[in-house]
Every structure is written in structure tokens, then in C-alpha cells.
Amino acid sequence: MAVRRLNHAVLYVNGLRRTVDFYRDVLGMEVRIEVPGQAAFLRAPGSVNDHDLGVFDIGAGHADGRPHVGLYHLAWEVGTLGDLVAMREKLLAAGALVGESDHRVSKSLYAKDPSGIEFEVLWRVPVEDWEAEMARDGAVTLPLDWRRTLDRWPTDQLTGSAAGSPT
């Protein structure tokens, strides 16, 4: 079991509007979701990802203990839910796991490498289930409910790039 491909990147920026305009106007990305003044999620035309790029505005200041402009995290994709379960065990054993989230269209683990750089490992929910997942009550990001997730999908179901998705 290994990660398959980079799924998305997330950046800390100052100047959300100009950043969104840049990626939209220069690179041709489309805005999927925007929280005015706070964050935006964009994707490349034809991409089947929920988003290829996330940008979070941190403002102009850099107080101690606050994020700085630059990389927030990269997200790596695994092919099956079983791969995500196995990756969780490896991250726990390495003392690297720092969080778990249900983003509705993906189930995600957050970890830090030996240098303290955060990364995400995710399993992409089958596209045909995105609408139902997004219709669930509650916030867009929830704590990862492993029991619900493992009851909902088979652990060997291929999704994303592992299922032949071109993006």
C-alpha cells in the first residue's frame, strides 16, 4: 500500500481576492467554494476532484504562533478505504498522526513528517456518493466517524486515480 498521487495543495496567502483572481484568470481554475475574506477552493477545468487548490487568507501580519504565507499542506490520495486504514496504523506507529477529518467527499488523515511539515492522506468517496454525503446535516468538515465510514463502503472499493479517474 502506497499513496497514488497528489490530490490537492493548500496554501496560506495574504490577499485572498488577488490570489483567487490570479489562479482563475492566469491558470484557468474555477472557484468551487469561497468563504469571502477567509478561504477559497478551486479546481482545474475537467478535474474530478472536489478541489485541486485550497487557499486560506492569513492577513498581512505574522504574529508568533500564527501561520506564515506559504505551504499549509499537500494531500496524497490512496486507492481504497483499506489502504487508508493501513496508513492510519503506520502513522500511529510512527507517532506522526495529528488528526482525522470527514470532509464528506473524502476521508482524511493528517500527519506531520519528521521536520514538522503537515500532510494529508485521503481516500476519495466515490463520486456517485458525493451528493448524498454533502446533503448530510452538520458542518462541511466533521470528525471522522470510522464506524459509519467502514459500514458505508467496502474496504477494497477503488476510487479516484486507483479507479482510473484521469485527475
pLDDT digits (tens, 9 = 90+) for 103-147: 999 999 998 876 677 888 899 999 999 999 999 888 889 999 999
Segment 32-77, tens digit of pLDDT: 999 999 999 999 888 888 888 999 998 876 666 677 888 888 888 8
Residue 14 φ/ψ, nearest 5 degrees: -120, 120
Strands (E), the chain: 5-13, 30-35, 39-43, 53-57, 70-78, 97-102, 106-112, 118-124, 142-143
Assign domain 5-62+69-163 to its CATH superfamily: 2,3-Dihydroxybiphenyl 1,2-Dioxygenase, domain 1 (3.10.180.10)
Give the Cα-Cα-Cα angle 12, 121, 160 (nearest 5 degrees). Answer: 105
**Who wins on pLDDT, 2 or 56?**
56
Distance CA 159, CA 104 (A): 14
Q: Give the start-to-end residue ranges of the domains of the chain.
A: 5-62+69-163
Query: How far, in Å, CA of 133 to CA of 91, rounded?
Result: 26
97 contacts 110 by C-beta, under 8 angstroms: yes
Is the pLDDT assigned to residue 167 strictly greater than 50?
A: no
pLDDT value of residue 38? 94
The grid cell for 14 is 495574504
Q: Which pLDDT value is given to residue 29?
A: 87
Is residue 4 over pLDDT 80? no
